[in-house]
Amino acid sequence: MPPRRKSTDQHELVERPSRKRPLPADPYEVPDEDDAIPSAKRQRRQSQDGGTPSKRNATPRKHVDFLQRDLVPVPEEPESPTEQTPSKKRIGRPPKAATGGTPSGKPSTPSALRKKQVDETPVKLRGLNGVDTPSRRGIADRSARRKSARALIDRVLEGAVSDDEDEEQQIAREIYESSDEEEDENAQQENLADQEAELAATTPSKTGRGRGRGGRTPGSTTRRKKSPTPPRDLPPHEQYFYQNKPGSNKTSNNTLSSLDLLTHEEYFSLLREDAQKDPHEEQIQALQSHHAASFPQWAFELSQGFSVCLYGYGSKRRLLHQFAEYLFSSSSSSSETNTKNNKIIMINGHIRTLTIREILTTISAAIDPTFRLPSGNPLAMIQNLFTLLSSSAPKTKITLLLTSLDSPLCPTLRKPQTQSLLAHLSSHPSISLACTVDTPDFRLLWDSSLRSSFNFAFHDCTTFAPHSKELDVVDEVHELLGRMGKRAGGKEGVAFVLRSLPENARKLFGLIVGEVLVAFEDGQSGGGGEFVGGGGGEGPGVEYRMLYNKAVEEFICSSEMAFRTLLKEFHDHQIITSHKDSIGTEYLSLPFRKEELESILEELMS
Amino acid sequence: MAETHDDNPALFEEDDHRAVYIFAPAGHNSSPLQEKARPVKRRRVSSKRASAAAEVAADAEGETQSTTTAAAFPRLFGGEESAEAAGLRRQVFDTAWPVLDWRIKNVLREANRTTLENVSSFIRDAEGDATRGTRIPAGFIITGPNIVSQDLLFEQLSEALGKATQARFVRLRAAGAPNLKAALKKVIRDATAQVSLDGGGDGDEDAEVAFGRDGRKYLDYDLEGLHAFLGAQQDSSRRVIVAFEDSEAFESSLLTDLLALFHSWQGRIQFSVLFGIATSVELFQARLLKSTARQLFGAKFDVVQADLVLDNVFKSAIAGTQATLRLGPTLLRRLLDRQRDQVAGIRVFISSIKYAYMCHFYANPLSVLLADEKSLTRQLLQPEHIQAVRTLDSFKAHVEAAVDARQLNHAQSLVEDDSYLVKQMVEQRQKKQDYLMQLLRSLHLLTSMDLVPGRFTDLYVAALAGGLDLTPTIDAIKRLGADDVPALINRLLTAIQTGSPDLDLPGWEDEAEELISSLSEIRDEIEALAEQAREKGQQALKSKFTAQSKVLRTTVVAQKVQLSQDTAKLTDEDKAFGKAIDSLVDLFTHNIYSDPIDSLFLHEAWAYDAEAPYRDVFVPRPGTTFERALTRPHGYLGCECCSKAAGTLSATLPTTCILYQLYLETGSLVNAADLWSAYYALVGEESDAGLGLGEREALGRFYRGLAELRLMGFVKQSKKKADHVAKVKWLL
């Protein structure tokens, strides 16, 4: 397309001197970029300036004018702070898009171009994200390269070419070739451009091109290297965005299926052995006694109307217990009457069934064992409690010691209503509260008004002590790994579910349990019991068809429909699991251990 | 369930299974004692019911008693401190704080008084107002955005209005009333509960009373029930005031429904509503339907802003003469900043002050010097006290200053002679008093001049930190005209006469005779000068300081601008006026001054400026704490084995710490299998530096670590992939 070519020539005329002019006479100067690269590349770069307008202008003639008009101010450009063009131009611009005569304004080409351009503005991005842009750019380049290579191969294989396709092919070839050229370029060139880009980004006021500095570029080469591990030492917020980038969640497909998961029994026998071996036992004790030294201080704070809140890593249950003992002994030593009037109430927040009503009734029992707090709305209960408290003859002081106020495992305590009730309780002058928290973000539980009615004094009590009582470790981990949902609260849960089901369902379940137990026996005697699933205490399965036949024999159900309905109930309660093997036979199995199954069967038969 | 497997007697406690229980340690002989005590108590309880009223009176006394009989502080000086000294510290604290507490409460009560009066008179008068018709009286209280201070206001409102209008007061918060039913339940419950509380009836009864006399039961969200209840109470007024504390947080549809309902009941129950409004009435009205707005008969009330309340509390509790303990500038600045930046609320501010008092008397053995002269005897001061004084920074500074001033004997005796030092310490009390008086008087004079804008709090803190800075004030004085100066002097004279009730500072006319006479002299002189000048026909007196004395003249000569400065001629009166101003400034610089607080000898005994306890106790940084514990556990444990592994992985670290380090490197999804293999590679048999743990053993620890990570809220279950957990925390 002659006019187009002409324009680029003109461009060159205008641009050439301008590029030279601001260069200092630097002895270390690297060869001028324009001289160093093949002419094709140069043309590509120059034409690129016109690339964007060309998309907008349909006719070539106009386009020239536009270009010329647009290009005249270019001499000033190197001085301008936004000098990023070299790096921008160098990379990935389809080289012969202009020279090869792609009709401008073709819908396919510009969109492709535009997309490319989006990928290739690394300068700004680098300011923000520093690390990964070069590599991402590289990936984008490479994938484009790969695609175009594939396109070229396809083309050759097919042989047939239409006009449109021809153009596409052209572009593909260009992309492919450009990448070749790019690789041919010496590394220094790249560094140089990088350096410039960086310079432009960081010190925009610099008037010089900074090309003289391009000589020493040790930093940039190392930076471009792709590191296999994620960058360390990012600030937390950066890390969040880094790790939550779309598509960055690449984890392996390994599972724990090869590992035999722990059972409760094994865990506790391990724990017993382990407890003796803990190398930090002594230090943990020392830490504990260090915290215990501040008991008088906490007691003083409690007496002055503050609530004490202990935070930090490790179980603080033991510490709180000791504190209770301290409070108890100090109050009993001071005078006999105090013992009766100072009541300490322990609340184990880690117990999931804890309710605010339970707390309130216990408090009322502590004030006056004969008084029966009418149950009802907790707020009304608190009102009644306060009346009781103010009417109790010897002034009763209540100290609430609450473990795991914010336990994420105990949803009732974390509820805002519960928290505000507790705050209301603790704001009463004769009730004081000392609590422990387990999470680092416990402060989010309270808004400023709650916080001021709690009137907390916080203390760092990192104990490193194991949460042996608060946590049911095995269940927690299994639930975390999603292995827990398979059973409805163990044996008791099954009994509970079965009690609510009709006779037929109970019979059917007994049948399945019996069959599975038989399969267990078979499996142990080396028989062909089909084992379904890995670990998690899952037993062998029984064949669906066989089970159905047996159920019909025993008049449990008359049709497969009814059989399915019964099974669905079990499925809903997650007390059976089903599984299809490779040839499509369905197996049913029970997510229980053999001993549990035996006791379930016993219960069913009795 | 799980715990039953653990038969380790040392760790096992029966009570752990119970969610809530009354603590009675095993082995303590109290448990049989309690058993015995129960029947006794039961008898006493039955008698108590009869004489409940007498006991309530005793209650009030009990509170004051409990503070006096409180246990003494632990002994300091490594236990060497005498019990008397420790007891005295406690006693000083117990007498010092209640005084302030009372004053603060007074200030708070006073702060909202006008608002309260206005609101209650509005509610009272609304009934008789003929223009109201059937509309609901509605008070719009512009509270500003600070919800914590609102809390106090509504508490006072409920007290004041309950008394003034004999109405039931119900406070509604958006969080407690998510829908119409819940809101009505709350209204009815609170309106009916209040009376039963006053009546002193037992909890069992009021459930019956609430639902009318005739034994009919009503649903607990039926206003009919409330109506019946009010009728049963023979309450002629039948008024219920409903306060919407955070009206912006209520859904507008809920408000509309509630108001419509109240309106329809208006004939039977006299509803009045109050709205706490953080923005503006216009915005609030825009949220209501026009028909609803038409049902309201409203008035607007402003509230004293939290800033002003804070200033008043500050004046009385921190700066006032009643404050036994002086809080230092660093701490104060931090407290004030927190108030401004975080809107922490006045109650937090007050508890922070209280905590500072507690810290000082609890942990500083020299705080005993604050006791009054009667109880602070020479015997009480132990050698440790003397030694402690000698280690003080202010002691060193004092001695050095004495040496510099060639008072060598004084310095030597201070260092060597105990009794001389004690004498000096006693003298310091007076010096402290003088210092405080000087400081407060200067501040009072400065604020009453009212020349430089600025809050008292800032001025006070700056004065404590670096002494008073008079420059802006003096500049302002120099710019004053001849008419303003006498007014200023008059203001100062009254200030000296009356003192400041806020600061609890009495007038000090007697002590400041010299100042008063020179001030009045200057005033008279200036007035005379002004008179003279007026006679001479001069417009106003000018001094050499006033800006008009130099006139910048612009003349346009042949299209060129010429600038010339022209010193206006000063008349004799003007010159005399300038001199008078000079002497006034001189007077001020001599009379209004203050040194930084830490320039005083022994200021450690009566000033508290430690910021760290405050920060640790009120603004904890649990994230940092957790991170420190998990990344550098040896900082807490102090063990040999982990000290090398600062921030890196080492097999000897506690399991959770290792897992946490691995966790930090993961993306937002964590593969538990990979986590396990990474962990096992570190501690397992094959690892070089490992402990050689067996697989099952390592797995047991791994379980524990993972469960703890979950307990701390670092991970949660993820359904995206099998055996994966989701990472939840980035910012610690």
| pLDDT > 80? residue B345 | no
Compare CB distances from A252 to B38, B45, B674 and report the shortest one's residue: B674
High-pLDDT (> 70) share of chain A, %: 56
CATH code 1.10.10 region(s) in chain A:
490-605
Cross-chain Cβ contact B41/A460 below 8 Å: no
- Cβ A473 vs Cβ A465: under 8 Å: no
| pLDDT > 70? residue A504 | yes
Q: How far is B131 from chain A (nearest CA, A)?
A: 39
> Which residues in chain A (123-162) have CB-CB distances under 8 A to chain B?
none
Q: Quick check: B625 contacting A, CB < 8 Å?
A: yes
Distance of CA B545 to the CA centre of its chain: 44
Q: pLDDT tens, B628-666?
A: 888 888 888 887 777 666 556 777 888 898 899 888 888
Is position B195 within any domain?
yes
Write out the residue range of the structural domain in which residue B636 sits: 622-727
Compare CB distances from A324 to B23, B729, B732 and report the shortest one's residue: B23
Mutation choice for B interface testing from A261, A271, A339, A415 by most B CBs within 10 A: A271
Cross-chain Cβ contact A354/B20 below 8 Å: yes
Comparing alpha-carbon positions, the chain B residue that sits nearest to A256 is B673
What is the DSSP code (8-state) at residue B137?
Answer: E
| pLDDT > 50? residue B471 | yes
Using alpha carbons, list the distances in angstroms from residue B706 to A110, A205, A490, B70, B700: 52, 52, 22, 45, 10
Q: Quick check: B20 contacting A, CB < 8 Å?
A: yes
Cross-chain Cβ contact B66/A397 below 8 Å: yes
Q: Quick check: A61 contacting B, CB < 8 Å?
A: no
- The pLDDT of residue B467 is 83
Detail the DSSP E strand segments found in B18-135.
20-22
Among A333-342, A476-485, B39-48, B451-460, the range scoring the smallest mean pLDDT is B39-48
Q: Quick check: A333 contacting B, CB < 8 Å?
A: no
- Cβ B209 vs Cβ B217: under 8 Å: no
Q: Average pLDDT of B315-321?
A: 87
Q: Quick check: B612 contacting A, CB < 8 Å?
A: no
Highest-confidence range of A270-279, A411-420, B271-280, by mean pLDDT? B271-280
**Total domains in the fold of chain B:** 3
Q: pLDDT tens, B577-631?
A: 888 888 888 888 888 888 888 888 888 888 898 888 888 898 888 888 998 888 8
Compare CB distances from B671 to A251, A348, A362 and report the shortest one's residue: A251
Of B272, B303, B334, the last residue of a domain is B303
Q: How far is A313 from chain B (nearest CA, A)?
A: 6
A256 backbone dihedrals φ, ψ, rounded to 5°: -85, 15
Q: pLDDT tens, B399-426?
A: 999 999 988 888 888 888 888 888 888 8
Compare CB distances from B66 to A239, A273, A395 and report the shortest one's residue: A395
Q: Average pLDDT of A415-436?
A: 89
Comparing alpha-carbon positions, the chain B residue that sits nearest to A238 is B730
Q: Which of B169, B162, B185 is nearest to B241 (CA)?
A: B169
Q: Which of B674, B672, B659 is nearest to B709 (CA)?
A: B659
Instruction: Say whether pTM exceeds 0.90.
Output: no
A558 backbone dihedrals φ, ψ, rounded to 5°: -110, -20
Residues B133 and B241 in one domain: yes
Of B575, B591, B607, the last residue of a domain is B591
| pLDDT > 60? residue A496 | yes
Residues B699 and B558 in one domain: no
What CATH topology corresponds to A490-605? Answer: Arc Repressor Mutant, subunit A (1.10.10)
Q: Quick check: B327 contacting A, CB < 8 Å?
A: no
Q: pLDDT tens, A363-402?
A: 888 888 888 777 777 877 887 888 888 887 677 888 999 9
Q: How far is A292 from chain B (nearest CA, A)?
A: 14
Q: Average pLDDT of A524-538?
A: 42
Is position B458 within any domain?
no
Is position B549 within any domain?
yes
Tally of helices (H runs) and strands (E runs) in chain B:
31, 13
Name the more confident of B482 and B170. Answer: B170
What CATH topology corresponds to A272-460? Answer: Rossmann fold (3.40.50)
| pLDDT > 70? residue A13 | no
- Average pLDDT score, chain B: 79
Q: Which DSSP string do the residues of B583-641 spell out, in sequence order?
A: HHHHHHHHHS----GGGSTTHHHHEE---HHHHHHHS--HHHHHHHHHH-THHHH--HH
Highest-confidence range of A52-56, B148-152, B509-513, by mean pLDDT? B509-513
Cβ count within 10 A of residue A538: 20
- The pLDDT of residue A144 is 67
Q: pLDDT tens, B234-290?
A: 656 678 889 998 888 888 889 999 999 999 988 888 888 999 888 888 888 888 888
- The pLDDT of residue A531 is 42
Kindly give the pairing relationship between strand A586-589 and strand B669-671: unpaired
Residues B148 and B275 in one domain: yes
Is position B104 within any domain?
no
Q: Using pLDDT thresholds of 50, 70 and 90, give the confidence band for residue A211.
A: very low
CATH code 3.40.50.300 region(s) in chain A:
272-460
Is position B193 within any domain?
yes
Q: Average pLDDT of A452-460?
A: 90
Cross-chain Cβ contact A440/B151 below 8 Å: no
Residues B714 and B579 in one domain: no
Name the more confident of A24 and A420. Answer: A420
Chain B contacts of A344, Cβ < 8 Å? 22-23
Comparing alpha-carbon positions, the chain B residue that sits nearest to A364 is B22
Residues B586 and B629 in one domain: no
- The pLDDT of residue A167 is 59
Among A133-142, A393-402, A503-512, the range scoring the smallest mean pLDDT is A133-142
Q: Quick check: B633 contacting A, CB < 8 Å?
A: yes
Q: Quick check: B213 contacting A, CB < 8 Å?
A: no
Cross-chain Cβ contact A254/B5 below 8 Å: no
Among A159-173, A343-357, A393-407, the range scoring the smallest mean pLDDT is A159-173
Residues B131 and B224 in one domain: yes
Half-sphere exposure of B651 (CA within 13 A, CB side): 16
Residues B684 and B558 in one domain: no
Is position B643 within any domain?
yes
Q: Average pLDDT of B280-306?
A: 85
CA distance A578 to B360: 69
Name the more confident of A198 and B181. Answer: B181
Q: Quick check: A604 contacting B, CB < 8 Å?
A: no
Q: pLDDT tens, B14-32?
A: 566 778 888 877 654 443 3
Residues B151 and B236 in one domain: yes
Residues B170 and B292 in one domain: yes
Q: Quick check: A359 contacting B, CB < 8 Å?
A: yes
What is the DSSP code (8-state) at residue A512?
Answer: H
Q: Give the count of Cβ contacts less than 8 A between chain A and B.
A: 350
Is position B474 within any domain?
no
Burial of A98 (0-12, 13-18, 19+ CB in 10 A): buried
Cross-chain Cβ contact A371/B716 below 8 Å: no
Residues B146 and B241 in one domain: yes
- The pLDDT of residue A604 is 79
Q: Average pLDDT of B697-719?
A: 87
Chain A contacts of B207, Cβ < 8 Å? 374, 376
Chain B contacts of A273, Cβ < 8 Å? 697
- The pLDDT of residue B695 is 83
Residues B566 and B654 in one domain: no
Chain B contacts of A283, Cβ < 8 Å? 636-639
ipTM of the complex: 0.80
CA distance B524 to B601: 41
- The pLDDT of residue A172 is 57
Tell me the two tokens of residue A443. 């402060």
Is position B319 within any domain?
no
Cross-chain Cβ contact A477/B703 below 8 Å: yes
Q: Look up tokens 């984008």; give the residue.
A: A140
Mutation choice for A interface testing from B20, B196, B246, B632 by most A CBs within 10 A: B20
Tell me the two tokens of residue A460. 């760092």
